[in-house]
């Protein structure tokens, strides 16, 4: 296993862990447990971000630039959805 594969595996694990902590945070009813989970979740998220930054810096995590017109279309699509489908529009109950 080379460095890229190892970091990719660790990054995937950190993503899984942070998703799991998010679910646990939503379900925690005890305040002290919630605070402990939140601290550990934040630490895991920071680790995930550091791994992502390292992989991106080394060129091992590549992103493709999206076409501006396509971004605008998606923005408009979701903006229209949020203004017509959500129960709160600008703080007002519809």
**Which residues are CB-contacts of 18 (< 8 A; sequence separation ≥ 6)?**
41, 44, 45, 48
Instruction: Provide the whole-model pTM.
Output: 0.67
The mean per-residue pLDDT over the stretch 68-79 comes to 88
Q: In the prediction, which pLDDT does 92 show?
A: 56
Paired with 88 in beta bridges are: 93
Q: Is the pLDDT of residue 38 over 80?
A: yes
Residue of higher predicted confidence among 86 and 77: 77
Reported confidence tier of residue 19, pLDDT bands at 50, 70, 90: very high
Reported confidence tier of residue 89, pLDDT bands at 50, 70, 90: low
Distance CA 3, CA 93 (A): 52
């Amino acid at each position: 296993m080379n460095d890229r594969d190892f970091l990719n595996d660790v990054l995937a694990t950190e993503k899984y862990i942070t998703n799991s902590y998010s679910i646990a945070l939503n379900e925690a009813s005890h305040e002290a447990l919630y605070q402990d989970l939140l601290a550990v979740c934040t630490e895991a998220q920071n680790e995930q971000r550091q791994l992502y930054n390292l992989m991106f810096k080394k060129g091992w995590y590549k992103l493709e630039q999206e076409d501006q017109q396509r971004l605008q279309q998606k923005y408009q699509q979701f903006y229209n959805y949020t203004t017509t489908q959500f129960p709160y529009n600008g703080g007002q109950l519809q």
